[in-house]
Amino acid sequence: MKIAVVGKGGVGKTTIAGTLARLLARDGFNVLAVDADPNLNLASSIGIPRELSEKLIPLSENIELIKSRTQVSFGGLISFTPKVDDIVDRFGVVGPDGVKLLVMGTVRTGGSGCLCPENAFLRALLSHLILSR
């Protein structure tokens, strides 16, 4: 089962997603909560201690990982099908009730340079999570 929580800003999506994740985990479901919001508050919502959540680096900001997976080099080609099947195990953090959190982050806004590697990586990861897990 895959559930997405969407809606306009400020309506409680993060609170609902965090609460739902913990309740499902308590009922025995294997829960992976993915934070793709620019505000990155899902860790707090599912009860991950601030000391740990402040150390989490969104995947979108892990430039070395993105470069190595998309095989990008200056003036080179980009792999639009990077290996992502190990990302949850390597970068997911287990919180209360066994909820695993993956902080994807967000791609910067337009005008901040080429974002092809970041977009390719995050798109491949999201596709993997939706279609393969």
pLDDT (tens digit per residue) in 38-91? 888 999 999 999 999 999 999 999 989 998 899 876 666 778 888 999 999 999
Question: Does pLDDT of 112 surpass 60?
Answer: no
CATH T-level assignment (fold) for domain 13-131: Rossmann fold (3.40.50)
Segment (H or E) for 93: strand 93-94
Rounded to two decimals, the pTM is 0.84
Q: Where are the domains of the chain?
A: 13-131
Residues 6+ apart with CB under 8 A from 98: 25, 30, 31
